[in-house]
Amino acid sequence: MTKPIRKAVLPVAGLGTRFLPATKAVPKEMLTIVERPIIQYVVDEARAAGIEHIVFVTGRNKHVIEDHFDMAYELEDTLKARNKAEALKLLEEHRPQPGSTSFTRQQAPLGLGHAIWCARDIIGDEPFAILLPDVIIKSKVSCLKQMVDLYQQTGGNIIAVEEVPEDQTQNYGIVELSEKINDNASRISNMVEKPAPGTAPSNLMITGRYLLQPEIFDLLSNQDTGAGGEIQLTDSMLKLMRDQHFASIKFEGRSYDCGSKPGFLSANIAFGMDDPNLAEELIPFMRAAIEGSL
Protein backbone atom coordinates (compact mmCIF):
# COMPACT_ATOMS: atom_id res chain seq x y z
CA MET A 1 0.00 0.00 0.00
CA THR A 2 1.40 3.39 -0.99
CA LYS A 3 0.90 6.31 1.39
CA PRO A 4 -1.53 8.82 -0.19
CA ILE A 5 -0.34 12.16 -1.59
CA ARG A 6 -2.20 14.70 0.55
CA LYS A 7 0.01 17.78 0.48
CA ALA A 8 1.63 19.93 -2.20
CA VAL A 9 4.39 22.53 -2.06
CA LEU A 10 4.24 25.57 -4.33
CA PRO A 11 7.52 27.51 -4.19
CA VAL A 12 6.71 31.16 -4.90
CA ALA A 13 9.78 32.85 -3.45
CA GLY A 14 11.63 33.53 -6.71
CA LEU A 15 12.39 37.11 -7.74
CA GLY A 16 10.79 36.94 -11.20
CA THR A 17 13.48 39.15 -12.71
CA ARG A 18 12.47 38.26 -16.27
CA PHE A 19 9.22 40.16 -15.74
CA LEU A 20 10.60 43.36 -14.27
CA PRO A 21 9.32 46.01 -13.88
CA ALA A 22 5.90 44.25 -13.57
CA THR A 23 7.23 42.06 -10.75
CA LYS A 24 8.67 44.90 -8.69
CA ALA A 25 5.47 45.15 -6.64
CA VAL A 26 3.29 42.34 -8.10
CA PRO A 27 4.46 38.73 -7.72
CA LYS A 28 5.02 36.92 -11.02
CA GLU A 29 2.49 34.29 -9.92
CA MET A 30 -0.25 36.95 -9.80
CA LEU A 31 0.14 37.99 -13.44
CA THR A 32 -2.96 36.88 -15.30
CA ILE A 33 -3.63 34.33 -17.99
CA VAL A 34 -6.93 35.66 -19.36
CA GLU A 35 -8.83 36.46 -16.11
CA ARG A 36 -7.12 34.15 -13.62
CA PRO A 37 -3.73 34.67 -11.95
CA ILE A 38 -1.14 32.07 -12.94
CA ILE A 39 -1.08 30.63 -9.42
CA GLN A 40 -4.83 29.94 -9.52
CA TYR A 41 -4.39 27.50 -12.43
CA VAL A 42 -1.77 25.61 -10.43
CA VAL A 43 -3.84 25.47 -7.25
CA ASP A 44 -6.85 24.25 -9.27
CA GLU A 45 -4.68 21.51 -10.83
CA ALA A 46 -3.53 20.38 -7.36
CA ARG A 47 -7.06 20.34 -5.96
CA ALA A 48 -8.30 18.35 -8.98
CA ALA A 49 -5.68 15.72 -8.05
CA GLY A 50 -7.13 15.35 -4.54
CA ILE A 51 -4.53 17.50 -2.74
CA GLU A 52 -5.89 18.47 0.68
CA HIS A 53 -3.27 20.95 1.86
CA ILE A 54 -1.15 23.42 -0.07
CA VAL A 55 2.05 24.86 1.32
CA PHE A 56 3.16 28.11 -0.29
CA VAL A 57 6.83 28.90 0.22
CA THR A 58 6.83 32.66 -0.11
CA GLY A 59 9.23 35.57 0.10
CA ARG A 60 8.97 39.31 0.59
CA ASN A 61 6.29 41.11 -1.44
CA LYS A 62 4.21 37.93 -1.84
CA HIS A 63 1.46 38.66 0.73
CA VAL A 64 -1.01 39.39 -2.09
CA ILE A 65 -0.95 35.63 -2.89
CA GLU A 66 -2.21 34.97 0.65
CA ASP A 67 -4.94 37.58 0.16
CA HIS A 68 -5.95 36.01 -3.15
CA PHE A 69 -6.74 32.68 -1.48
CA ASP A 70 -8.57 34.30 1.44
CA MET A 71 -12.17 35.44 1.66
CA ALA A 72 -12.68 39.05 0.48
CA TYR A 73 -15.53 40.08 2.81
CA GLU A 74 -16.21 43.58 1.49
CA LEU A 75 -16.18 42.43 -2.11
CA GLU A 76 -18.38 39.38 -1.43
CA ASP A 77 -20.87 41.42 0.62
CA THR A 78 -21.12 43.95 -2.18
CA LEU A 79 -21.60 41.21 -4.77
CA LYS A 80 -24.35 39.67 -2.59
CA ALA A 81 -26.10 43.03 -2.21
CA ARG A 82 -25.98 43.50 -5.98
CA ASN A 83 -27.24 39.93 -6.69
CA LYS A 84 -24.09 39.05 -8.62
CA ALA A 85 -24.56 35.31 -8.03
CA GLU A 86 -22.28 34.19 -10.84
CA ALA A 87 -19.32 36.27 -9.68
CA LEU A 88 -19.82 35.05 -6.10
CA LYS A 89 -19.92 31.42 -7.22
CA LEU A 90 -16.69 31.92 -9.13
CA LEU A 91 -14.94 33.29 -6.04
CA GLU A 92 -16.25 30.45 -3.87
CA GLU A 93 -15.20 27.73 -6.32
CA HIS A 94 -11.63 28.96 -6.47
CA ARG A 95 -11.18 29.46 -2.72
CA PRO A 96 -9.48 26.66 -0.76
CA GLN A 97 -11.19 25.45 2.43
CA PRO A 98 -10.23 27.28 5.64
CA GLY A 99 -7.16 25.61 7.17
CA SER A 100 -6.12 23.89 3.95
CA THR A 101 -3.26 26.28 3.12
CA SER A 102 -0.02 27.17 4.88
CA PHE A 103 2.43 29.95 4.14
CA THR A 104 6.08 29.82 5.13
CA ARG A 105 8.85 32.20 4.16
CA GLN A 106 12.05 31.21 2.42
CA GLN A 107 13.71 34.38 3.81
CA ALA A 108 16.40 34.42 1.08
CA PRO A 109 16.08 33.10 -2.50
CA LEU A 110 18.81 30.45 -2.18
CA GLY A 111 17.39 28.17 -4.86
CA LEU A 112 14.51 25.82 -5.57
CA GLY A 113 15.96 23.03 -3.40
CA HIS A 114 16.18 25.41 -0.45
CA ALA A 115 12.61 26.64 -1.03
CA ILE A 116 11.30 23.04 -0.90
CA TRP A 117 13.36 22.32 2.23
CA CYS A 118 11.60 25.25 3.95
CA ALA A 119 8.35 23.22 3.80
CA ARG A 120 9.81 20.19 5.64
CA ASP A 121 8.05 20.65 8.99
CA ILE A 122 4.65 21.27 7.39
CA ILE A 123 4.97 18.23 5.09
CA GLY A 124 6.36 15.90 7.78
CA ASP A 125 6.98 12.23 7.08
CA GLU A 126 4.78 11.62 4.05
CA PRO A 127 5.11 11.69 0.26
CA PHE A 128 4.13 15.00 -1.29
CA ALA A 129 3.76 16.89 -4.56
CA ILE A 130 5.72 19.87 -5.86
CA LEU A 131 4.19 22.13 -8.48
CA LEU A 132 6.32 24.93 -9.91
CA PRO A 133 3.77 27.70 -10.00
CA ASP A 134 5.09 29.47 -13.06
CA VAL A 135 4.38 26.40 -15.18
CA ILE A 136 0.73 25.89 -16.07
CA ILE A 137 -0.51 22.82 -17.85
CA LYS A 138 -3.40 22.68 -20.28
CA SER A 139 -4.78 19.14 -20.24
CA LYS A 140 -8.08 17.27 -20.18
CA VAL A 141 -7.24 15.66 -16.84
CA SER A 142 -5.17 17.54 -14.23
CA CYS A 143 -1.49 16.69 -14.87
CA LEU A 144 -0.97 16.08 -11.15
CA LYS A 145 -3.97 13.71 -11.12
CA GLN A 146 -2.35 11.72 -13.95
CA MET A 147 0.79 11.50 -11.80
CA VAL A 148 -1.12 10.44 -8.69
CA ASP A 149 -2.86 7.69 -10.69
CA LEU A 150 0.54 6.33 -11.77
CA TYR A 151 1.90 6.69 -8.23
CA GLN A 152 -0.92 4.49 -6.93
CA GLN A 153 0.47 1.67 -9.09
CA THR A 154 4.20 2.27 -8.68
CA GLY A 155 4.83 4.18 -5.42
CA GLY A 156 8.28 5.80 -5.24
CA ASN A 157 9.01 9.15 -6.86
CA ILE A 158 7.45 10.48 -10.06
CA ILE A 159 8.48 13.29 -12.40
CA ALA A 160 6.35 14.73 -15.22
CA VAL A 161 8.19 14.98 -18.53
CA GLU A 162 7.40 16.45 -21.92
CA GLU A 163 9.04 16.16 -25.35
CA VAL A 164 11.13 19.12 -26.54
CA PRO A 165 12.80 19.59 -29.94
CA GLU A 166 16.30 18.04 -29.83
CA ASP A 167 17.99 21.37 -30.55
CA GLN A 168 16.47 22.85 -27.36
CA THR A 169 17.45 20.20 -24.81
CA GLN A 170 20.34 22.37 -23.54
CA ASN A 171 17.80 24.75 -21.99
CA TYR A 172 16.13 22.19 -19.69
CA GLY A 173 16.57 19.42 -17.14
CA ILE A 174 16.54 16.20 -19.20
CA VAL A 175 15.85 12.64 -18.02
CA GLU A 176 17.55 9.41 -19.03
CA LEU A 177 15.18 6.44 -19.05
CA SER A 178 15.61 2.71 -18.44
CA GLU A 179 12.79 0.14 -18.61
CA LYS A 180 9.21 0.97 -19.58
CA ILE A 181 6.39 0.79 -17.03
CA ASN A 182 3.63 1.39 -19.58
CA ASP A 183 3.18 3.35 -22.84
CA ASN A 184 3.65 6.71 -21.07
CA ALA A 185 5.78 5.85 -18.06
CA SER A 186 9.33 4.58 -17.65
CA ARG A 187 11.91 4.25 -14.92
CA ILE A 188 14.39 7.12 -14.72
CA SER A 189 18.07 6.15 -14.47
CA ASN A 190 19.60 9.65 -14.55
CA MET A 191 18.84 13.38 -14.90
CA VAL A 192 21.04 16.06 -16.43
CA GLU A 193 20.53 19.81 -15.97
CA LYS A 194 20.99 21.74 -19.23
CA PRO A 195 23.12 19.16 -21.12
CA ALA A 196 25.62 20.55 -23.64
CA PRO A 197 24.25 20.46 -27.22
CA GLY A 198 24.39 16.96 -28.68
CA THR A 199 24.89 15.22 -25.29
CA ALA A 200 21.28 14.98 -24.02
CA PRO A 201 20.29 11.43 -22.97
CA SER A 202 16.74 11.94 -24.36
CA ASN A 203 14.42 14.70 -25.62
CA LEU A 204 12.26 14.58 -22.48
CA MET A 205 12.37 17.65 -20.26
CA ILE A 206 11.41 17.88 -16.61
CA THR A 207 8.20 19.92 -16.61
CA GLY A 208 7.82 21.28 -13.06
CA ARG A 209 5.64 18.63 -11.42
CA TYR A 210 7.08 16.11 -8.96
CA LEU A 211 5.84 13.51 -6.47
CA LEU A 212 8.60 12.90 -3.95
CA GLN A 213 9.21 10.82 -0.84
CA PRO A 214 10.00 12.71 2.39
CA GLU A 215 13.61 11.40 2.49
CA ILE A 216 14.38 14.21 0.02
CA PHE A 217 14.37 16.63 2.99
CA ASP A 218 17.36 14.92 4.72
CA LEU A 219 19.30 15.18 1.48
CA LEU A 220 18.34 18.83 1.00
CA SER A 221 19.43 19.56 4.62
CA ASN A 222 22.96 18.39 3.86
CA GLN A 223 23.25 19.80 0.40
CA ASP A 224 25.83 22.31 -0.80
CA THR A 225 25.07 24.93 -3.40
CA GLY A 226 25.23 23.70 -6.99
CA ALA A 227 24.82 25.31 -10.40
CA GLY A 228 24.31 29.10 -10.29
CA GLY A 229 25.33 29.18 -6.59
CA GLU A 230 21.83 27.91 -5.65
CA ILE A 231 20.67 24.82 -3.74
CA GLN A 232 19.33 22.69 -6.57
CA LEU A 233 16.46 20.21 -6.19
CA THR A 234 17.89 18.05 -8.97
CA ASP A 235 21.11 17.39 -7.02
CA SER A 236 19.16 15.93 -4.08
CA MET A 237 16.84 13.95 -6.38
CA LEU A 238 19.92 12.35 -7.97
CA LYS A 239 21.13 11.31 -4.52
CA LEU A 240 17.69 9.92 -3.62
CA MET A 241 17.71 7.94 -6.87
CA ARG A 242 20.55 5.78 -5.50
CA ASP A 243 18.11 4.28 -2.97
CA GLN A 244 14.64 4.84 -4.39
CA HIS A 245 12.67 4.21 -7.55
CA PHE A 246 12.01 7.23 -9.85
CA ALA A 247 9.54 7.08 -12.74
CA SER A 248 8.74 9.55 -15.51
CA ILE A 249 5.28 10.16 -16.92
CA LYS A 250 4.65 11.65 -20.34
CA PHE A 251 1.38 13.30 -19.37
CA GLU A 252 -1.48 14.11 -21.71
CA GLY A 253 -1.46 17.90 -22.15
CA ARG A 254 0.93 20.75 -22.79
CA SER A 255 2.89 22.97 -20.44
CA TYR A 256 3.39 26.74 -20.65
CA ASP A 257 6.36 28.27 -18.87
CA CYS A 258 4.72 31.49 -17.75
CA GLY A 259 8.00 32.59 -16.15
CA SER A 260 9.21 33.34 -19.70
CA LYS A 261 7.66 35.95 -21.99
CA PRO A 262 6.96 33.59 -24.93
CA GLY A 263 5.36 31.03 -22.56
CA PHE A 264 3.28 33.69 -20.82
CA LEU A 265 1.98 35.18 -24.08
CA SER A 266 1.35 31.72 -25.60
CA ALA A 267 -0.64 30.68 -22.53
CA ASN A 268 -2.81 33.79 -22.82
CA ILE A 269 -3.58 32.92 -26.44
CA ALA A 270 -4.12 29.19 -25.78
CA PHE A 271 -6.46 29.73 -22.80
CA GLY A 272 -8.13 32.72 -24.47
CA MET A 273 -8.95 30.59 -27.51
CA ASP A 274 -10.93 28.24 -25.23
CA ASP A 275 -13.54 30.96 -24.82
CA PRO A 276 -15.59 31.10 -28.06
CA ASN A 277 -16.37 34.81 -27.60
CA LEU A 278 -12.73 35.69 -27.17
CA ALA A 279 -11.69 33.37 -30.01
CA GLU A 280 -14.03 35.22 -32.35
CA GLU A 281 -12.11 38.46 -31.71
CA LEU A 282 -8.66 36.92 -31.37
CA ILE A 283 -8.59 35.02 -34.67
CA PRO A 284 -8.94 38.03 -37.01
CA PHE A 285 -6.54 39.96 -34.77
CA MET A 286 -3.88 37.23 -34.96
CA ARG A 287 -4.38 36.86 -38.70
CA ALA A 288 -3.79 40.59 -39.12
CA ALA A 289 -0.74 40.42 -36.83
CA ILE A 290 0.79 37.62 -38.91
CA GLU A 291 0.07 39.44 -42.15
CA GLY A 292 1.63 42.59 -40.71
CA SER A 293 -1.53 44.63 -41.26
CA LEU A 294 -2.21 45.74 -37.67
Is residue 259 a contact point for ligand UTP (CB under 6 A)? Answer: yes
Q: Which is nearer to ligand UTP, 106 or 213 (CB)?
A: 106
Q: Which is nearer to ligand UTP, 150 or 212 (CB)?
A: 212
CB 228, min distance to ligand UTP, A: 9
Is residue 169 a contact point for ligand UTP (CB under 6 A)? Answer: no
Q: Which is nearer to ligand UTP, 72 or 108 (CB)?
A: 108
How crowded is residue 80: how many other Cβ atoms within 10 Å of its Cβ?
12
The one among 9, 12, 46, 219 contacting ligand UTP by CB under 6 A: 12
The one among 7, 43, 134, 143 contacting ligand UTP by CB under 6 A: 134
Nearest to 172 by CA among 263, 102, 89: 263
Is residue 97 a contact point for ligand UTP (CB under 6 A)? Answer: no
Q: For ligand UTP, what does the binding mask look like between residues 23 and 42, x meaning CB under 6 A?
A: -----x--------------
Q: Which is nearer to ligand UTP, 134 or 235 (CB)?
A: 134
Q: Which is nearer to ligand UTP, 11 or 156 (CB)?
A: 11
- Residues at the interface with ligand UTP (CB under 6 A): 11-18, 28, 57, 106, 109-112, 114-115, 132-134, 259
